[in-house]
Structure 1
Amino acid sequence: MTEDPRVKELFTLKTIAETLNQSNDLPVMLNTVLEKLLELTGLSAGWVYIIDGYLQYECVADYNLPPGLLHKDKLPMRCESCWCMDRYWDRRLNNAVNILHCKRLENAVEYNWGDTNGITHHATVPLGSGDRQFGLLNVAAPGKSHFSEEELALLQAVAFQIGSAIERMRLYTAEQLRAEQFARLGQFSRALGAATGAAMETEALSALIVTLIKEHLDWPFAALIQASPNGNYILRAVHGNDRTETPNSRLRFPDKHWIREVSREGHPAAASNEEVAQLSELEGIRMLLPSSLLAAAAVSIPLVNASGGILLIGYDQADKSSSRENREVIEALAEHVALAIDSSLLERNRRELALVEERNRLARDLHDSVSQMLFSLSMTAKGVESLLADNQQDKALASIRDIQSLSQDAQKEMRTLIMQLRPAGLEAGLLSALQNYGNKLGLQVHTQAAGIRELPRPVVEALWRIGQEALNNVLKHAGTSEAAVTLVLNSMTAVLRISDKGIGITKKQRLAAASISLGLATMKERTEALGGQFTLTSKYRNGTTIEVFIPLTP
């Protein structure tokens, strides 16, 4: 190769650029680049520090270190500060510097750690990209105490290349982390959605949320804090030190406390070390706050929902709280948590309304059937009294027979309503219970089953209520005394079909019924509350079929 310095410099930069593009592993890349750089420049030793913060550094690459710096597994490269790092932290090291006394080499000589191979000084070059700095590149050679301006310029150009490569790798790693975190968030959301399909009490839901955060996102600490109307806060649930607690204790914060500020201002905020340490003073958190968290950081996020709560997340590494990727994930997490809490609250309200509607329906049925029969019994009994007073024995006996018939009808109607209130007989199985219920209505019910598996109790009760309503509709509207009930089960679904061969209904009647029929609306609501699908098909004079499809957890 030509000895022209300019050509050698361009060749060196080209070789370094090619080397930087061959790996996405930072230590491997830096070690390879360092070796190439020393080979091309005729220097003998070098090392690279990546610096994350004050006194937070790591020697990630080195080549041909003298024995004095290899002492006790490179202990001199891992302990204490040095003059070049002090200048780096003081922001006084912005360009390649021509020779610095090396405290690490001087210590090796002073404490007899080993030979320094004649190396007493080194050149130091900051590694950066734009206004961001990542660390230091140090190079040296035995007896070399001066670098020319051309050599420093070349080292500076190489440092810019290395800094850009580090920035690229960090962006790549951050994007990978972001993708992984959002994948975990998806798993968290699915697990939370599966568990909260049914209404849950606040305490149980809060404990589930913080436990799933640890399970799927692997953050060491999570807490749910709810604002109360009097301006105080309630600690609903905490997960830390590998256990979950639901203290439900009241928390009182001063006006300027950082958690109160987050709640008031309505946007996420990172806590300082001092603010994280304040958490250890709170009852209910003290025993669950990991000791590693006190040297790290935490982030609090307001929950935009009916509870007005705060989600508190603790990190085991201080830099995570300021990471853009983590902040995006944690803000999305807060949205999922707020939605789950609101959905659970709405589900509880829906069920309460359904109970009220069920009671109202039973009240109407009692009024329309049993109440009228009892009124007839009362009036007939009064008539018997008059007939007996007038010695009209034959007419009195006929009225008593009417009383017996009315009382039997009232008793039958009352038993039907009681059965609707309490699903007795489900112990023998859903199909058997529906068959018995149909028989008591005077229907001949044919049952058929396909597949075997245990159904969750909420699913069994929902299918039971839907089956009851469907059989009632057969009795009242189908004009037939026969019905068929089919239950198909597999690992993923449960399908219940109730069909008859009655008079059926026209499309116009079906549309009208869908808008005014409380029974059809209730069946559909029960199905959709379990994430299922309700279908009614019917043809005039060709029967009606109701099909309920319920997804199941494997």
Structure 2
Amino acid sequence: MHSSLNDHMTLLKEIAEFLNEETEMETMLQGALKKLLTRSVFASGWIFFIDGKGKHKLIAAENLPPALMENDCRSMKRGGCWCVSRYHNGELQKASNIIECQRIEQARRQSEKSSGEITHHATVPLQSGKEKFGLLNVATPNTIEYDQSELALLESIAFQIGSAIKRIHLTRQEQEIALVQERNRLARDLHDSVNQLLFSVTLTSRGAMEMTEDMELRDAFHDIHQLTQEALTEMRALIWQLRPKGLETGLLEGIKGYAEMLGIHVVTHVSGVIQLPSRIEETIFRIVQEGLNNIRKHAGTNQAELFLTVNSTDVLVILKDDGRGFHAGKIPGTLASVGMQSMRERAQAVEGTIEWISAPSEGTEVFVRIPY
């Protein structure tokens, strides 16, 4: 017993040191899980993150039997189970022995691969104070339950992991705040220097154009004026991207304000209540922002429609124009393709999807679906 206690204390120390050194969430969780399984009676383990709606995500897994790993851990990622349900209902407060696991049973029925003689697992919530993040599950072949010392070890490690998750969340928030501050500083600098300089050039070129009677000079100053006006619009758009005005008063107001700055009239259609997490809201804003840029530069129209539909699981955004369109299967030009790739990357960053429907002279529709 004394030896077992020493082993537990050594393991707790090792995991604590590891958690304190890591800054990437998934690397941290995977590494902690591996250390736990290597130095304890637990043979397999997995971690679910669970949101406020009870939707779970497999964030880390180690040494799962082949049946559970089949089809990219499909049985672990889909469907419901007792432990996730009990967690969401607030019935899991400490480490618990689970009688049997629906996911393991399903994998054993549907797969011809080995389940490693695993039929049951123990589970413990991951939390920091009153803030909950998900579940840590562990299993051992031919084991129906663990003794109290093993459950106590599981609780201690879950406490450490919960604290580390909270630390990384706080670090990310600080980084996001610093990024916003830097964007605001850069936006101010651009506005105070480059933007004002471009504005001065437009005034000077227009004045020079009116003062001279030489037609060649007039044409030259006219070209300078036009190019500078275009650059001024681009600069204002860039400043908007760095520091979106109006977004703090609502997503639609921010979009309308940006469109107005570009000279585009947007008709909006909303279905559902817009109460989105800030990250999702900014992602939608940035995607629509780039879509509006493409309309101004490539569509040859100043009219657009925006459809925003919000339900209990995801949000659908459709940005539609009646412009010149393009062959959806072909790259419509370097600048447009860069913008489209940026939109795709933003959607994928929040596990969303995006697609374009377009044809020459038939306008373009952008479909974005984002879970939240």
Task: State TM-score, norm by structure 2.
Answer: 0.59
User: Residue 53 of structure 1 aligns to a residue in which SS?
Assistant: coil
User: Residue 111 of structure 2 aligns to a residue in which SS?
Assistant: coil
2-side partners of 1:223 and 1:27: how far apart?
A: 31
State percent identity of aligned pairs.
Answer: 32
For residue 18 of structure 1, report the CA deviation from its aligned partner.
1.5
- Please, which of 272, 275, 278 is the counterpart of residue 272 of structure 1? 275
1:167 matched to which residue of 2? 166
2-side partners of 1:189 and 1:292: how far apart?
A: 34
Mapping 1:364-379, distance limit 5 Å: none
Mapping 1:298-377, distance limit 5 Å: none
1-side partners of 2:15 and 2:53: how far apart?
A: 29
Structure index of larger Rg: 1
User: Does the 8 A contact of 1:127 with 1:159 survive in 2?
Assistant: yes
User: Does the 8 A contact of 1:297 with 1:317 survive in 2?
Assistant: no
2:264 matched to which residue of 1? 246
User: Residue 4 of structure 1 aligns to a residue in which SS?
Assistant: helix
1:74 matched to which residue of 2? 73
2-side partners of 1:58 and 1:287: how far apart?
A: 34
2:217 matched to which residue of 1? none
User: Does the 8 A contact of 1:207 with 1:245 survive in 2?
Assistant: no
1-side partners of 2:349 and 2:55: how far apart?
A: 11
CA deviation vs aligned residue, 1:245-287 (integer Å, no higher than 9, x gap)? 43298x9x9xxxx9xxxxxxxxxxx9426xx9xx99xxx9972
1-side partners of 2:266 and 2:105: how far apart?
A: 59
Tell me whether 1:134 sits opposite 2:133 in the alignment.
yes
1:195 matched to which residue of 2? 195
Indicate how the Cα distance of structure 1 residues 297 and 148 shifts in structure 2: closer, same or farther if over 3 A, else same: farther
Mapping 1:60-459, distance limit 5 Å: 60-112=59-111, 114-193=113-192, 194-196=194-196, 198=199, 211-212=237-238, 215-216=241-242, 237-238=258-259, 244-247=262-265, 271-272=274-275, 287-288=305-306, 295=314
User: Residue 60 of structure 1 aligns to a residue in which SS?
Assistant: strand
Task: State TM-score, norm by structure 1.
Answer: 0.41
User: Does the 8 A contact of 2:266 with 2:305 survive in 1?
Assistant: no
CA deviation vs aligned residue, 1:306-338 (integer Å, no higher than 9, x gap)? xxxxxxxxx97999xxxxxxxxxxxxxxxxxxx
1-side partners of 2:253 and 2:63: how far apart?
A: 55
1-side partners of 2:83 and 2:92: how far apart?
A: 8
AA aligned to 1:88 is Y
AA aligned to 1:169 is I
Structure 2: stretches of 5+ with no match in the other structure: 203-229, 289-301, 318-345, 351-372
User: Does the 8 A contact of 1:223 with 1:238 survive in 2?
Assistant: no
Q: CA RMSD in A?
A: 4.5
Indicate how the Cα distance of structure 1 residues 98 and 123 shifts in structure 2: closer, same or farther if over 3 A, else same: same
User: Residue 21 of structure 2 aligns to a residue in which SS?
Assistant: coil
2-side partners of 1:285 and 1:77: how far apart?
A: 46
User: Residue 138 of structure 2 aligns to a residue in which SS?
Assistant: strand
AA aligned to 2:275 is S
1:10 matched to which residue of 2? 9
1-side partners of 2:10 and 2:252: how far apart?
A: 59
1-side partners of 2:236 and 2:306: how far apart?
A: 12
Would you say how many aligned residue pairs link Structure 1 and Structure 2?
Answer: 266
Structure 1: stretches of 5+ with no match in the other structure: 227-234, 259-269, 299-314, 320-554
1-side partners of 2:251 and 2:135: how far apart?
A: 40
User: Does the 8 A contact of 1:237 with 1:248 survive in 2?
Assistant: no
1-side partners of 2:11 and 2:257: how far apart?
A: 62
Indicate how the Cα distance of structure 1 residues 208 and 123 shifts in structure 2: closer, same or farther if over 3 A, else same: same
Structure of higher RCO (CA pairs closer than 8 Å, 6+ residues apart): 2
Runs of 4+ in 1 over 6 A off after TM superposition: 206-210, 221-224, 290-294, 315-319
For residue 26 of structure 1, report the CA deviation from its aligned partner.
1.6
CA deviation vs aligned residue, 1:93-129 (integer Å, no higher than 9, x gap)? 1111112421111111121252111000100010010
